[in-house]
Chain A
Amino acid sequence: GPKVLQIPSHQIIDMGQMVTLNCDPVSNHLYFYWYKQILGQQMEFLVNFYNGKVMEKSKLFKDQFSVERPDGSYFTLKIQPTALEDSAVYFCASSLGDRGDTQYFGPGTRLLVL
């Protein structure tokens, strides 16, 4: 099936630093998502993005978070500054349409904030 790629697969950084997580979505998809899963906990929605704009975000999407997809390149999640509670696996997803369409997920980026 369609593949979503995420770079890097793992990232370890010190608290307070900036981190950028990269997602290469399915090539013709228009809607992009980030989800967060803390170890041993449920997967939770962070944000979705379409046509250069944040369409919807959850309360987990703090002010320190931002997303963008400049010129059709990677869809990125930036956290600046990072906090200990940001340690989690971040999954990127993409879909062709929005509410009725299948979302395809990447393998996740495991972020550890020390």
Chain B
Amino acid sequence: GQQVQQSPSSLVLQEGENAELQCNFSSTATQLQWFYQSPGGSLVSLLSNPSGTKHTGRLTSTTVTKERRSSLHISSSQTTDSGTYLCAPHQGGSAKLIFGEGTKLTVSS
């Protein structure tokens, strides 16, 4: 089945710095979603990006389908960006999302 590796597992930044999060997965995925999970546990869908580059606000995601990897770039980080970022590609031939363990981001002022 689909295996998902996210790196780094944790990242500490000063406010204003940029973050680069990586996601590698083992099988082709027809869809890939990035999520933010708050320290309280609520889940927010950030981007759907099965291929190419997508932007929303301070977020940019680039997915290279053939190489089975995706990245999430957060520019000018803010303390409110602190939380866990989850990458979830689809399992090949299935509708289910397979979640990585996440990157825990801490942004300090």
Binding site for B on A (CB under 8 A): 1, 31, 33, 35, 37, 42-45, 48, 55-56, 58, 89, 91, 95, 98-105, 107-108, 110
Interfacial chain B residues near A104, Cβ < 8 Å: 45
26 contacts between A and B (CB under 8 A): A35-B97, A37-B41, A42-B99, A42-B101, A45-B97, A45-B98, A56-B95, A58-B96, A89-B41, A91-B43, A95-B95, A98-B95, A99-B30, A99-B31, A99-B95, A100-B30, A102-B31, A102-B45, A103-B97, A104-B45, A105-B35, A105-B45, A107-B42, A108-B41, A108-B43, A110-B41
Cβ contact of A100, chosen from B42, B50, B99, cutoff 8 A: B50
Looking at chain A's contact residues, is the secondary structure mostly helix, strand, loop, or mixed? strand
- Minimum C-beta distance from B104 to chain A (A): 11
Contacts of B88 in A (CB 8 A): 43
Chain A residues closer than 8 Å to B42, beta-carbon distance: 107-108
